[in-house]
Amino acid sequence: MKKIARSELNALFAAIAEQKQLFIPADNTAGQAEFILWKDGVALTEKLNTTRSAKDLFFPQVENLVNFKVSDKKMEIIENRDPAAPFVVFGVRACDCRSFDILDSVFLSEPVDTFYKARRENGIIVTLGCTKPAETCFCGAFGIDAANPAGDVTCWLDGETLYWKSNTDKGKALTAALSVLTDCDENAVVAIQENTRKILEKLPLNNLDLSGFESDKLMELFNNPAWTELSESCLGCGTCTFVCPTCQCYDVQDFDNGREVRRFRCWDSCMYSDFTMMAHGTNRPTQKERFRQRFMHKLVYYPSNNNGVFGCVGCGRCLQKCPIHMNIVKVAKKLKEVAK
Amino acid sequence: MQQRVKEKALELLRNGTVDRVIGWKTGEFFYDLTPAVFETAEEIEKDFVFSGFSGANLSKYAIAQSRAAGKTAIFLKPCDSYSFQQLLKEHRILRENIYIVGIACEGMLDMEKIRAAGCEGVVSVKENGEELIVETLYGDRTLSRKDCLLERCAVCKSKKVVIFDEMLGEQGDEQETARFDRVAELEAMTPEERFAFWRGELSRCIRCNACRNVCPACSCEKCVFDNDKSGVRNKAAADPFEENLFHIIRAFHVAGRCTDCGECSRVCPQNIPLHLLNRKFIKDINELYGTYQAGADMETKSPLTDFTTDDCEPSIVHERGGVK
Amino acid sequence: MSVNEQFQPTIVAFCCNWCSYAGADLSGTNRLQYPANVKIIRIPCSCRLNPMFILRAFQRGADGVILCGCHPGDCHYTTGNYYARRRMTLLFSMLDFMGIERGRTRVEWVSAAEGAKFAATMNEFVETITKLGPNRRLEDLRCSKE
């Protein structure tokens, strides 16, 4: 375990930035935290978490795939992928860190998504233990310990000191190159962790019961009459999917500028009417089916294909950002209530 | 008032005036209310809430509910009633199927502002006159109520419920507001400053479409931006141009119909001040074609479906004051 | 040679079928000159001009967009241009509000008899846009020619 004085954080960031691009959660002009490319003057936010998740750095909202150029009867294929410079993302919370396990299981299993893979290989995740969880946090329901996050490096911060512990080879290599860090005792963070766990116990949703979503109940859950009521006021916007650290659906689109065709991918949302549109039309004609898809995917389909691991990490972003305050917690509770 | 609204909902359902009620439903916390349709007295007893966090404008839900069998009651705050009447004017709501209860309003609270004031892990908010007592996991805080109002409430344009069958509380009046001040500040900037300002704001857009979908004036069955045959369909802003295109057209499509209910800014997850675009159109309309408030009445023609033969020429934009 | 001397702007002129398009024709038959930078798109009436057309013209490479229609009072459909006038006023004001240069958009009323006015307007507009330089604030980088 290593440490550095909190007042020296800037020196730490400068030392990291000397080697790789560094992103840290900092306040933007709208007063929200987001991952911002560090340069001198960018300060670590006081806020618990970023509005958009760390997913964005590995799976950006828009990504160029390839260009096509047609001349006469020949079509030229032009590679234009972003080579993705090596980077470090600092201050990732335990929930967002877990989301990479879920994204990995989708993008890194065959057929491997080489765009995502390149960024995963190039990126070092430095997590930060939570000290002030919010009432909307429920990572505990997924067995995530906000006081002890994973990642290539794990950090803890108290009033005076930042503690730094490397977990992986990538993390160790980064640590070795940072001479500003000094050695310290492993037990230094115990008090911080205990303090966090005390608050976690008090959180209203941290012990959310997620039993009853096993795959043998799939059809029963699918046909649960509660879906009509739950989806009734859904606006069909994509806020929940776009702030979600685990949503991974995308659409591939072509942009024709008259000289060449640019193929790119961009996030898609199952809340949208043209999501997975096919020649025969859409198979989810109303908001009820679209809404059901999102929550069935997180709570039932994904776990039944992935040894019971849920497709949600309890970051609470959708609880805070949904315009009508409908969210996965309300859905899970209601489904169980009606199923009884 | 909170109790009276709930009692009224129960009464209307019990005495058979209506078959269902559109209102706000309790959530996991005290602030996360969801618009909902209540069909039984038990549901209302259990889950109906009207509080300082009932900011959601329910009027758009009346489009669908007015087409359901029987009669539906809806609760409208003053600003919501403008949206409702505007929809009625556009023949989107079947008036005979709706029973409107107007609610006098003291302004709705913004949880984002409470959080931005440094309150984390908020457990409860109690209203005590002009003060808010905020109980959090990390100790109690006292905030001024007026600092925590939704933007639209801080510059409330009217306390008048413009259409109702029954009114709870005192009917209010239109009022003088500072709602155009920020627009005027931007107008006084140089074009370079304005361009930089809007780039900074719109570059945060994630194209979640919340602003469009929540908007009572955006009630098209299929939006041009979702129509793959329109040539402008896009799911994400692949280029900054698309951010400009979407937001200019979104605001333009509701120009003359936007009541300035402020829902677009309330729901924006990225805190983009979208209402400024709508207010710019309203301010221009007021200055160039005479004061007009969408939804204020059923008769006055919308400025964009009307004209006079001596209207100003578009070149007025080039000629008028301000920095060029 | 400076950049401005090389710069040849692309101008899109939306012309109403009944007056301005005929005006453009007349300026041609009268052999009045206006620059080849102007690309004319014929529309049935000035009020057919969806604001989206203007923005998309900028997206796809226009440096200036001008709308030409019948003089107020002379609309083939009686009132179309009155509506267009209000719409364009508000749209141009919004573009100005967003920091887009004021000179890039324009409306001019040109009748079928005003071939000379059409040519003069286009000459003047091309000159204005040439001075303003390439459209940068409403361009789509995916469409840029470089």
DSSP for chain C, please give it.
--HHHH----EEEEEETTTHHHHHHHHHHTT----TTEEEEEESSGGG--HHHHHHHHHTT-SEEEEEEPPTT-BTTBSHHHHHHHHHHHHHHHHHHTT--GGGEEEEE--TT-HHHHHHHHHHHHHHHHHH-S--TT--GGG---
Q: How far is B312 from chain A (nearest CA, A)?
A: 37
Which pair of structure tokens corresponds to residue A295? 């929550």
Q: C142: which chain A residues are within 8 Å (Cβ-Cβ)?
A: 255, 257, 262
Residue type, A336: K
What pLDDT was estimated at residue B230?
Answer: 85
Report the alpha-carbon distance of residue C39 to residue C49 in Å, rounded.
15
Q: Which of C59, C90, C104 to mutate to test the interface with B (most CBs of B within 10 A)?
A: C90
Residues 198-237 on B with a CB inside 8 Å of C are 198, 224, 231-232
- Does the distance separating the beta carbons of C137 and B317 come in below 8 Å? no
What share of chain B in percent tops pLDDT 70?
98
* Paired tokens of B153: 């409430």
Note the pLDDT tens digit of each residue in A243-285.
999 999 999 999 998 889 999 999 999 999 989 888 888 889 9
User: Residue C2's Cα: distance from chain center in Å?
Assistant: 26
> Please, which chains are in contact with B (at least 3 CB pairs closer than 8 A)?
A, C
Task: Write out chain A residues lying below 8 Å of B267, CB-based.
Answer: 237, 239, 323
Q: Where are chain A's structural domains?
A: 2-60+68-202, 215-339
Contact C142 A257 (CB under 8 A): yes
Q: What is the bridge-based pairing of β-strands B166-168 and A260-267?
A: unpaired
pLDDT tens digits, A121-158: 999 999 999 999 999 999 999 999 999 999 999 999 99
Which residues have a Cβ under 8 Å from the Cβ of A281 and sit 6 or more positions away?
Answer: none
Write the Ramachandran bin of B107: left for phi over 0, alpha for psi from -120 to 50, otherwise beta: left
Give the CA distances from residue C123 to residues B133, B214, C35, C36, C37, in Å, rounded to whole numbers and listed in that order: 67, 46, 7, 10, 10
Nearest to B208 among A28, A203, A237 (CB): A237
Read off the pLDDT of residues A36-51 as tens digits, 9 standing for 90 and up: 999 999 999 999 999 9
Q: Residues of A90-125 as b/e, b for ≥16 C-beta within 10 angstroms?
A: bbbbbbbbbbbebbebbbeeeeebebbeebbebbbb
Q: Chain C: nearest CA to B129, how far in angstroms?
A: 39
Confidence of residue B2 (pLDDT cuts 50, 70, 90): confident
CB contact under 8 A, C60 and A258: yes
Of residues A248, A149, A237, A227, the one with CA closest to residue A193: A149
CATH 1.10.357 fits C8-132, yes or no: no
Give the bridge partners for A66, in sequence order: A79, A263
B288 closest CB neighbour out of C89, C94, C140:
C89
Can you tell me the mean pLDDT for B67-93? 96
Domain boundaries along the sequence of chain C: 8-132
- Run of H or E including A196: helix A190-202
**Chain A residues with a Cβ under 8 Å from any Cβ in chain C:** 255, 257-258, 262
Within an 8 Å CB–CB cutoff, is residue B220 touching chain A?
Answer: no
Contact A325 B213 (CB under 8 A): no
pLDDT in tens, B206-241: 999 999 999 999 999 889 998 888 888 888 888 999
Least CB–CB distance from B195: residue in C98, C102, C140: C98
Q: Are B184 and C91 in contact (CB under 8 A)?
A: no
CB pairs under 8 A between A and B: 126
- Quote the mean pLDDT of chain A: 94
Chain C contact residues (CB < 8 Å to B): 51-52, 55-56, 58-59, 72-73, 79, 82-83, 85-103, 105-107, 137-142
